Amino acid sequence: MEWNSVRFLWALLLPSLIIIRANILFGPSPSEVADFEHYYYENRVRFHGVGIVGATAAFLVPWIYGAFPWFTLSPVQPGATVSIALSTLSTLAFVTPNAKVQWLVAVVMILLMLYLLAFG
């Protein structure tokens, strides 16, 4: 694989989005946040909006790096399938403020990330 500016910037995109999401989730000064649950619900749209961007970027990684010449889901690329699921879950959490849905999304996202770490 030959590196170019797009691939280099793409390699920096996902870690940058993780930092942005952590900043949204914990705030600029976590010691000043009195109630993290309330703070989360105030910022959940931005948090999950960045998550949608991140999941979409992760889905495109194999094609940006030239692993697949065309867009297709492949059983040998479980990361793409997990990225679609994460994007769908982030969209669901982005749309609804229901606490039970938010908890379900959080648990399923953690399980999907563990799967991706183990098999992706």
Average pLDDT, stretch 16-31? 87
Q: Rounded to an integer, what distance in angstroms lies between the CA atom of residue 46 and that of residue 49?
A: 5
* Distance between start and end Cα atoms, the chain: 20
Q: How confident is the model at residue 67 (pLDDT cuts 50, 70, 90)?
A: low
Output the pLDDT for position 74. Answer: 55
Q: Is the pLDDT of residue 110 over 60?
A: yes
Output the pLDDT for position 26. Answer: 86
Average pLDDT, stretch 23-46? 88
Average pLDDT of the chain? Answer: 81
Dihedral, 87, 89, 91, 95 alpha carbons, nearest 10: -170
